[in-house]
């Protein structure tokens, strides 16, 4: 069955997503908070440290803005699907616990030849006031579903600034990082089951792209936003290579006022998040 192009532009029914203080803490640990120094990020990893009110990592917004679909996308082997791009905008900081109402829609299905790129957008609002809290945009690449003669999609003009990075930060991941991160809701066996990972062409389970994204967001938050989630306005990036649990991640950042360009790479120089942009409020 080919992909269902009739889904494009059709808004889903609203769904409500709630989270607790524990959910926010578990997410923070899942993306490495407190890994090298358990006392360094207590605002994100604890709720009862003296004089340290709990805060929420901005990238947690991506999980909260995940909503239902307006219909079946099509029949395909889920092992052929990989996360391609992720972006979000935070309209206000997230509380440690709360509820949002989410609607989503597929905004485009593009023909990349060897596969299809499916682009979606979600809006999460305060269920009482209707005020926007999160806008999330993501795309997935489905191998083997291209070649249908469609539009290849828009091109971006992103490029690395022609100077050395203003900041370079390295965080290591743990061998069991994916097993911790999956407890935040993404139970895709690609990240835990060796047999499933082999079907997708990997020698062992890979780290969730959004876990790598969360590590990167932490680096940006602490390095250019003064560890203040209220200053973290937006972030986007393209997943360009897999990460294995245990890999170290180095985030290079170029800053120009509120605009930040970044790349995340492994120790061997392989870029794993490319075309990165963030907006930091002054």
Q: Which positions are catalytic?
A: 186, 191
3-class SS of residue 61 = helix
Residue by residue, DSSP assigns 18-33 as EE-HHHHHHHHHHTTT
Please give the Cα distance from 87 to 11 (Å, whole number): 19
Take residue 83 and report the two structure tokens written for it. 């996360």
Distances (CA, A) of 222 to 33, 152, 167, 261: 11, 37, 11, 15
Distances (CA, A) of 260 to 128, 166, 218: 34, 10, 14
Q: Contact, 97 vs 53, CB < 8 A?
A: no
Take residue 53 and report the two structure tokens written for it. 């009110």
3-class SS of residue 199 = helix
Q: Contact, 101 vs 127, CB < 8 A?
A: yes
User: What burial letters (b/e) apply to 235-259, b meaning 16+ CB within 10 Å?
Assistant: bbbbbbebbbbebebbbbbbbeeee
User: What burial letters (b/e) apply to 35-52, b meaning 16+ CB within 10 Å?
Assistant: beeeeebbbbbbbeeeee
Burial class for 53, CB neighbours closer than 10 Å (0-12, 13-18, 19+)? exposed
CA atoms within 13 A on the CB side of 105: 10
């Amino acid at each position: 069955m080919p992909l269902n192009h009739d889904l494009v532009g059709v808004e889903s029914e609203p769904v409500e997503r709630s989270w607790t203080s524990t959910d926010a803490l578990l997410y923070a640990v899942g993306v490495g908070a407190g890994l090298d120094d358990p006392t360094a990020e207590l605002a994100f990893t604890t709720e009862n440290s003296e004089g340290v009110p709990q805060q929420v990592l901005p990238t947690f917004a991506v999980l909260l803005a995940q909503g239902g679909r307006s219909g079946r996308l099509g029949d395909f082997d889920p092992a052929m699907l990989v996360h391609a791009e992720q972006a979000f905008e935070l309209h206000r900081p997230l509380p440690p616990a709360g509820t949002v109402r989410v609607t989503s829609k597929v905004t485009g299905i593009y023909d990349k030849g060897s596969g299809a790129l499916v682009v979606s957008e979600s809006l999460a609002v305060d269920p009482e006031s209707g005020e926007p809290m999160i806008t999330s945009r993501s795309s997935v690449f489905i191998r083997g579903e291209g070649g249908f003669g469609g539009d290849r999609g828009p091109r971006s003009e992103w490029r690395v600034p022609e100077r050395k990075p203003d900041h370079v930060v390295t965080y290591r991941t743990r061998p069991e990082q994916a097993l911790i991160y999956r407890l935040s809701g993404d139970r895709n066996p690609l990240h835990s089951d060796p047999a499933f990972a082999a079907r997708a062409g990997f020698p062992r389970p890979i780290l969730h792209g959004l876990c790598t994204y969360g590590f990167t967001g932490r680096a940006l938050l602490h390095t250019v936003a003064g560890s203040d989630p209220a200053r973290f306005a937006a972030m986007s990036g393209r997943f360009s290579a897999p990460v294995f649990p245990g890999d170290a991640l180095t985030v290079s950042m170029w800053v120009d006022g509120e605009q930040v360009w970044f790349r995340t790479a492994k120790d061997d120089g392989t870029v794993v998040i490319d075309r990165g942009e963030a907006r930091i409020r002054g």
